[in-house]
Amino acid sequence: MPKKSRFLAGEVISPKPIVKGASVVRLVEETFLAYNAGRLHEACRLFAEKMVGPQVTVGMSLTGALTPAGVGRSCIVPLIQAGFVDWIVSTGANLYHDAHHSLDLALHRGSPFLDDTRLRQEGVVRIYDILFDYTVLLKTDAFFRKILEQKEFQRSMSSAEFHHLVGKYLREREKALGVEQLCTLTAAYETGVPIFTSSPGDSSIGMNVAAMALQGSAFRFDVSADVNLTAAIVWEAKRKGGQSAVVIAGGGSPKNFMLQTEPQIQEVLGLPEKGHDFFLQITDARPDTGGLSGATPSEAVSWGKVDPSQLPDTVVVYTDTTIALPILTAYALSKAKPRKSKRLYDRLDGLHEELRATYLKGFKAGRKKGGG
């Protein structure tokens, strides 16, 4: 008999019938066996078995209209509260629309096949099949402009500090309105999870900041601080013998901003590093068009964004985030033990100073060696 090929060492595909009341864990492990279900199986196992280990710092990027669909409350908040997410890069739009929930402003299920001219006439806004009254935008805008008038906002700050302060004010509104369920910003505020926005002007939050600037507000986003603070988080995780993991929901600017922490450390600051250790992406973007949203982990290796020795611990799931993330969340909460929050926000100043001191030490040594 010829020797059995090593390629046939995988589990035999012979699932049991799905039974009434089957759990998410059972569905993932017993029936998600091939194609993108197979990749989601691998993603769930990677996240629950390796990425949320005690020595791993987990970053999550959020792109696409996730929070209007309820993904913030249903998935991101439980992951934050379980200690499974340590820092976040999000579009401003996701944070703006998530604030609707804290302000007790309703979003409704609808249809993507409605007459948008009629919706406009009746003051209804549509995000695909999500509908809400136009006044939801106006009331949320008013909230952001009101807090931007406060004295503590009259200066330049990182987007992480801005979102932490917004989380504080939103938490006060939740309590005053009797809103029991936290939103992403308030959950992050209470657990010390820093949230960054890679393009702070590209959202309704940024639009309201711009409007306040016309009124003389001194508030400004410090984008350079964001670049250095995110790099400092990854540098601190790796230099102490830990590992860095990224969970990428979607693609776009937040994906790049999260992954560029490694080129910032290696290429720009000249510090020794190899790349992120774990890479998990949920996307519907194709890699062959050359866009960042569809770029693969192996391509990221060429930029120094992912450690080449860790490619087996990278998974890309080609599907809708609103499908995959709830399954991933339910699986992780069922299989992994909660972790104590690292409270990275409380330590940002110290992490930044450590990165700065290390960089300047090397920079001065290089100048001295070169005779500069």
Least confident of 31-35, 113-117, 219-223, 309-313: 309-313
How high is the pLDDT of residue 369?
A: 58
Q: How far apart are CA 319 and CA 15, in angstroms?
A: 22
Q: How far apart are CA 272 and CA 252, in angstroms?
A: 27
CB atoms within 10 A of CB 25: 15
Contact 162, 316 (CB under 8 A): no
- Collect contacts of 139-142 with beta carbons under 8 A, ≥24 apart: 139/103, 139/105, 140/96, 140/99, 140/100, 140/103, 140/105, 140/204, 141/204, 141/208
Amino acid, single-letter form, for residue 29: E
How high is the pLDDT of residue 10?
A: 84
- 270-297 tens-digit pLDDT: 998 888 899 999 988 677 666 666 666 6
> What's the angle, vertex CA 84, arms to CA 28 and CA 181, rounded to 5?
95
Kind and range of the H or E element at 130? strand 130-133
| pTM of the shown model | 0.92
Q: Is 300 exposed, middle or buried (0-12, 13-18, 19+ CB in 10 A)?
A: buried
25-370: CATH homologous superfamily?
Answer: Deoxyhypusine synthase (3.40.910.10)
- 320-343 tens-digit pLDDT: 999 999 999 999 999 999 999 999
Pairing of strands 278-283, 243-249: parallel
- 220-255 tens-digit pLDDT: 999 999 999 999 999 999 888 899 999 999 888 999
Q: How far apart are CA 100 and CA 140, in angstroms?
A: 7
Confidence bin at 2 (pLDDT 50/70/90)? confident
Structure-token pair, residue 97: 């629309």
Active site residue 4: no
Average pLDDT over residues 291-306: 65
Contact 196, 89 (CB under 8 A): yes
Task: Name the catalytic one among 274, 305, 337, 369.
Answer: 305
Q: What are phi and psi of 141, to 5 degrees?
A: -60, -45
Tell whether the model's pLDDT for residue 372 goes beyond 60: no
Confidence bin at 300 (pLDDT 50/70/90)? low
- 82-129 tens-digit pLDDT: 999 999 999 999 999 999 999 999 999 999 999 999 999 999 999 999
% residues pLDDT > 70 (the chain)? 90
Structure-token pair, residue 11: 């589990």
Please indicate whether residue 370 or residue 82 has the higher confidence score (pLDDT). 82
Domain definitions of the chain by residue range: 25-370
Contact 114, 128 (CB under 8 A): no
Nearest to 275 by CA among 263, 257, 287: 263
How high is the pLDDT of residue 7?
A: 87
Nearest to 226 by CA among 156, 174, 139: 156
Helix (H, G, I), strand (E, B) or coil at 166: helix
- 161-204 tens-digit pLDDT: 999 999 999 999 999 999 999 999 999 999 999 999 999 999 99
**Alpha helices per DSSP H over the chain:** 24-31, 35-46, 71, 77-81, 92-102, 116-121, 134-148, 159-177, 184-191, 204-214, 223-239, 252-259, 261-263, 297-302, 321-335, 348-370
